Chain A
Amino acid sequence: MSAQQATLPQAEHPQDALLRTERIPHIWCAGCGIGIAFGSLMSAITKSEIPRDDFAVVSGIGCTGRLAGYIHLDSFHTTHGRAIAFATGLKLARPQGKVIVASGDGDLLAIGGNHFIHAARRNMDMTVICVNNFNYGMTGGQLAPSTPYGAKTTTTPQGSPDEPFNFCSLAASCGATYVARWTALHIRRLTTAIAEALNKKGFSFVEVIAPCPTAFGRRNKIRRSLDLLKLYYDNSVVKNHIAPGEATIDFDNNLVVGKFVDVERPTFLDHYAAINRGEVEAWPATGVDASAAGKRKAG
C-alpha cells in the first residue's frame, strides 16, 4: 500500500448508499459541475419518500451520461440523445416507477431535442435533469445547442455563430409541469428544485448551469472552475415564476435563475386511461353543423 493510499479517509461518505463506490474514482475532471448536480440529485432522492426500488435513472451519452454508471439504483446508460425515448418505454411498462433522466445539454437538446419536446408535450411522467456546461465536454469541447453566441469551441474556433436554445423556455412552451434553473453554486436551491421535481407528477425539468473548465473554460480564457462558477453565479438574478421566455441566459447581469413553472396537468397515462375508459368526449366537442358546411361549399 502506497503512502498516498494509506492516508485516504476511512470514514464513509454520507451518500455512499446511493453510490456504486467500487466504481470510484469517477471519470469527471477536477472542477467539473456534474458532481455538484449529482450530489444535489442524491440529496433530493434521499429526502424524498419514494421507495428506492422504484427509482430508475436513464442517461444518454456524454459526461453527464456517465452519471448512470455511478448511482446505485437501477440505471440505464443508453444511446446518444435517446435517454428520454428509452425512459418513456420504461415508464409506460412500469408506471409505478419514478424515472429520472440525467443528461448533458448536447445529448438532451441537440441529438435528443425531438424526444425532449415530445415527452414534454405528452407530459410523460419523468424528471429530466440537464447539466448545461455550454459545450460537448466528453469529445473535447465542441459547439453545443447551448454554447453562447461568440464563445469559442473546437468547432467554432473563431467564436460561435449559432444562437443558443433557451432550454427552460422550450420546456415550458412544450408543456412541462415543472421548470427550474439554478447554477451549480445555488446548491441548496438546486437540491430543493430537484426534490420538488421528483415529487411532481408529469414532465419536470431542472437545468443546472455548470462549469466545464477543461473543455469550455480553457478555450474562452477562463481556466479555473471557480472563475466560471463566479461568472455564472455573480451574473445570476433570481426571478421566480416569470414568463419562461424571459428567463434569459445573459452573462451580463441577467442570467435568470429560479422556478419558472409549477403547474398541474394530466399525464400521458392519465389521458390514455381516460380515453380508453370512454370518458373523453369525441372531438370536436361542439359537433359539426353539416348544413352550414354544405352552404359554405355551395357559396
Chain B
Amino acid sequence: MAGQAVLTGTHFINGDEACAEGALAAGCRFFAGYPITPATEVAERMSQRLPGVGGVFIQMEDEIASMAAILGGSWGGVKSMTSTSGPGFSLMMENIGLGLCTETPCVICNVQRAGPSTGLPTLVGQGDMMQARWGSHGVYEIIAIAPSSPQEMFDFTIKAFNLSEQFRLPVLIMADEVVGHMNERVVIPEADQVQLVERSKPSEGPDTYLPFQPGPDGVAPMATSGEGYYMHITGLTHDEKGYPVMEVWAQEEMTQRLVDKIQGNLDQILDFEAIHLEDAEVAVMAYGISARSARGAVLALRQAGFKVGLLKLNVVWPFPEDYVRELSRRVKAIVVPEINLGQMVLEVERLAQGRCQVKLVPHPGGGIITPARIMEAVKASLEETS
C-alpha cells in the first residue's frame, strides 16, 4: 500500500489505525512519537506508511521530544502529528503550551487509558478531559475533539488537522482505549472528496510581515522556515513582530488574541449532535466511547416512550456553553456519563446554575459505562424531577 496517501475504500481496521489513515489523508507527512499503550498502533501505522508517501517517521527518545519535534516539523512547513496516552500526555504539556504560545499548527492524539499514573495501561479511561483544557500552565484556549468510533477516528483526525491549520494551534484528539482498539468498518473516501484546510501564508514581504498580526478572522498568516522571512518565534510573551516584551500590556494583548481567535470563531469550531432533544425532558450529554453507550440508552428509552435525548459532543473544547445553558432551561435533567469521577459534568453544572438537575454517571476507569446504567440514571432523574 506504499505510495497511496488516501486509502480509498472500505476497511476493517481499529481506531488507532483509522487515526493514522486520517492523518495521511489530511496531508500529515511528519510523525514523531514514542510507544505507549493503547496508542502505539497509531505510531506503528505511521512508521509503515509515511516513507511510501514521502514523509518521515521518527521514534523519539520520549514524549517531551516527540512534542517538541512536531512543533519543529510544523515550522518546517510540514503537517505534523504525535500520539500518546496519559503518562505521555502529561510529559507533552509544556511543549503543548509552547505550541499554543507560538501558534503552531499540529495534532496530538491522546488515546486515553485509566489513571492516575501508570493506572490501567490496557484499559479505557476518560480522565484526561480537564487536563486537555488546563494541563499546560498559563492562559489559553484549546481545541479538543472526541471520536466515538473508528470511523470518527478517521474523520475527526482530518478535522483536527483542518482546525489546527485554520486557527494555528495544537489540536487534541481525545480518544480512548476502546475507540482506539475497536475494529470496525471504516470508509475512506476518494482523495478529491477529502476537504482540506491549509494554513494561510503571508501575502506581504519580509520587510512588512508581522508573524503575529492577526487577520480579519483573528488568525495571523504563517511563514515557514526557509522562506526568507527571518522570523523570530518565542515562548516568551511577545508582540505582533514576535519579539519578547516583558510588560503587562503585551501579556494582555497576546493572551487576548489567543482567546479571541477561538472564542471569536465558535460558529466554525463548535460541533455537536442534538438527537431527539426537541421535546426531551431529560438530556444525556456524552462524548467518546460513552456517547455510544448513551446513544444505545437513549434510543431504547425512546422506543419505550420516554422523552429523552442525546447531546453528543464532537468538539469538547471549547465547550458549547450557549447551547448547554439554553438546554438547561428546557429539560428537567442533564445526565452525564463519563469514565472519570466527574469532569465535563462540571461544565454542565456551571452552565445550568441549578435550573435543572445535573446527574453524573461516573466510572473510575477500566471499563465502559453500559447503556443499562445510563437508562437507570435517566429513569431516576425523571422520577426525582417529576
**Which A positions have Cβ atoms within 8 angstroms of B?**
20, 23, 53-54, 56, 58, 68-69, 72-79, 82, 85-94, 96-97, 114-115, 118, 268-269, 272, 276
Contact = CB atoms under 8 A, between A and B. Distances in A.
29 contacts: A20-B232, A56-B225, A56-B226, A68-B234, A73-B230, A74-B225, A75-B233, A79-B94, A82-B95, A85-B66, A88-B65, A88-B68, A89-B69, A89-B70, A89-B76, A90-B72, A92-B58, A93-B29, A93-B30, A93-B72, A93-B76, A97-B76, A97-B226, A115-B61, A115-B65, A118-B60, A272-B56, A276-B51, A276-B52
A85 B231 CA distance: 20
Nearest to A98: B226
Given A76-B72, A118-B65, A90 B80 contact: no
Contacts of A82: 64-65, 68, 95
A93 B80 contact: yes
B306 interface: no
A90 B75 CA distance: 7
Contacts of A118: 60-61, 65
B231 A92 contact: no
Contacts of A96: 226
B326 interface: no
Q: For this complex, into which size category does the number of interface residues on chain B fall?
A: 35 or more
B77 A93 contact: yes
A72 to B, nearest CB: 5
Interface in B56-112: 56, 58, 60-62, 64-66, 68-78, 80, 94-95, 98
B68 A79 contact: yes
A118 B236 CA distance: 27
Contacts, number: 134
Nearest to B106: A89
Interface of B is mostly: mixed
A91 B30 CA distance: 11
Contact of B73 (A72, A89, A268): A89
A94 B227 CA distance: 11
Interface of A is mostly: helix
B235 interface: yes
Contacts of B226: 53-54, 56, 74, 94, 96-97
Contacts of A20: 232, 243
- Among A73, A85, A89, the most chain B Cβ lie within 10 Å of the Cβ of A89
B244 interface: yes
B262 to A, nearest CB: 22
Contact of B72 (A68, A69, A87): A87
B228 interface: yes
A78 B235 contact: yes
Contact of A68 (B69, B80, B224, B232): B232
Nearest to B69: A89
Contacts of A89: 30, 32, 68-76, 80
Given A69-B243, A118-B61, A78 B68 contact: yes
B34 to A, nearest CB: 11
A91 B29 CA distance: 13
B80 to A, nearest CB: 7
